[in-house]
Amino acid sequence: MYAVVVSGGKQHRVKKGDLLRVEKLNADVGAEIALDQVLLIAGEGEPKVGSPTVDGASVKAEVVVHGQSKKIIVFKRKRHKGYTRKQGHRQQYTDIRIKGIEVN
């Protein structure tokens, strides 16, 4: 059985036991969270498609670790003008492990 959930504005296909990297969540490491925006549940019999979400469905997950991804460099330059801008960015993320998919 798998589900399609929304977290951080992105859609992820998950099943039990998956390790998933999502946008940073406000939860402590080891805390159990519920992802309530479930768009689809499939894998056993007829799939359940939400409009926009499946009623009574949620995905339980555990927060594994928080971190920052690799640094990216944003560099802007205009010829002949002496204009340069250099900026770095490190996106924060949360790794979660899917514990189960619940359907009511």
pLDDT in tens, 19-31: 999 999 999 999 9
Kindly report the pTM of this predicted structure. Answer: 0.84
**pLDDT of amino acid 19:** 97
Which pair of tokens denotes residue 71?
């640094």
User: Is the separation of the CB atoms in 96 and 62 below 8 Å?
Assistant: yes
User: Is the separation of the CB atoms in 71 and 28 below 8 Å?
Assistant: no
Residue 44: pLDDT band by 50, 70, 90 thresholds?
Answer: confident
Mean pLDDT, rounded, for 72-96: 98
How many residues in the chain? Answer: 104
CA–CA separation, 45 and 55 (whole Å): 18
Determine if residue 59 is left, alpha or beta; phi over 0 gives left, psi from -120 to 50 gives alpha, anything else beta. Answer: beta
**pLDDT of amino acid 3:** 96
With 90 as the cut, is the pLDDT of residue 85 above it? Answer: yes
